[in-house]
Amino acid sequence: MKHQKLALDNVLFQDQHPGAGDSRREVLAGLQRYPKVVNPKFFYDAAGSALFDRITRLPEYYPTRTEIAILTDNAEEIADCCGRGCVLIEPGSGSSEKVRLLLDAMRPGAYVPLDISADFLYQSALQLGAEFPWLTIHAICADFSEDWHLTTSLPEGRRVVFYPGSTIGNLEPAAAGRFLARVRDWMRADGGALIGVDLHKSTDILNRAYNDAAGVTAEFNLNLLNSLNRLLGARFDPDSFRHLAYYDPEQRRVEMHLVSREDQAVPFDGGSIEFSAGESLHTENSYKYTREGFAAMAAGAGLVVRRTWLDSEGLFSVHYLERR
């Protein structure tokens, strides 16, 4: 599919139409397991993306502000590592907030945001293109979490993959290793990757980060049910579920769940999904790594950590990687 040119000369948009049928099968397979589970990528409809933007500004949620500090304080050094004029690719770009901190220092030849939410990506690309009229933007709506390859025509140049926010922590460690192997393919022989990784820390800090006093994280978690209603033709009632999040220090992950308040059968187009009172739908894991643990996982994918930056409290890390 060719890129669609938008109202701004520097913004192109390509919708690869990630398959709703495949998503439906994936969700139903998870809901019919025990325990029930759903991929956290389904959080990010337009409402979910907006709610997550609110989460990033909460006082309890340290990852965003610490990573922003790292990127802001080290923008020139990061640009030296990544190379100015590169093709900067951001899977799961959302509102493209963090890349703004690097653009003036990096001056990429092109920016390629990838996201599963077409409407949100479309609007974000237009806003970014207006703010940075010198920047060429190739926005692509695609599900990069599947076995997807960057086959679309892109400008020539050294490819650098930007994956901030510790999104890699949402993947099971084996899947995270496989994702890093795909990143290695995307970057080609001479490219690089800049990846944000949340660090293992005290249980108290982590529990507060995922159970904010304002209840925004709970609202974000419960909004997933609205996404499932649209996808499945279902009638989940968010009021009949409650948010649960906690840190498991042995597995070094935060778990998020939606817990059924009662025995219920949720109808959907083609059947119903049974929940007993207290039964949970596992909606997200967020793994936390040590620096050494992440470097070992990267090495297993054929990558080497060339440089690491930390915030002043050592809560969060940003790593620059290249092929071994």
More confident position, 97 or 20: 97
Q: Are residues 65 and 161 in the same domain?
A: yes
Say whether both 108 and 78 belong to one domain.
yes
CATH code at 294?
3.40.50.150
Asked if the model's pLDDT at residue 152 lies above 70, the reply is: no
190 and 220 in one domain?
no
Q: What share of the chain is helix, strand, coil (3-state, %, to 5)?
A: 40, 25, 35
- What does the alpha-carbon distance between residue 72 and residue 20 come to, in Å, rounded to a whole number? 38
Residues 182, 64 share a domain = yes
Q: Are residues 82 and 207 in the same domain?
A: no
Distance CA 222, CA 236 (A): 10
DSSP 3-state of 254: strand
Q: What is the pLDDT of residue 8?
A: 86
State which residues form the domain around 78.
4-19+60-200+288-323
**Band of pLDDT at residue 1, cut at 50, 70 and 90:** very low
Q: How far is residue 229's CA from residue 97's CA, in Å, rounded to a whole number?
A: 29
Domain annotation covers residue 30: no
User: What's the confidence (pLDDT) of residue 207?
Assistant: 98
The per-residue DSSP string of 156-175 comes to SS-EEEEE-TTGGGGS-HHH
Domain match, 174 and 305 both: yes
Per the structure, how many domains does the chain have? 2
Both 238 and 159 in one domain: the answer is no
Instruction: Note whether residue 52 is domain-resident.
Output: no
Question: Does 11 map to a domain?
Answer: yes
**H helix runs in the chain, sequence order:** 20-31, 46-55, 62-73, 75-82, 100-106, 118-131, 173-187, 203-209, 216-232, 291-300
144 with 268, same domain? no
278 and 297 within one domain: no
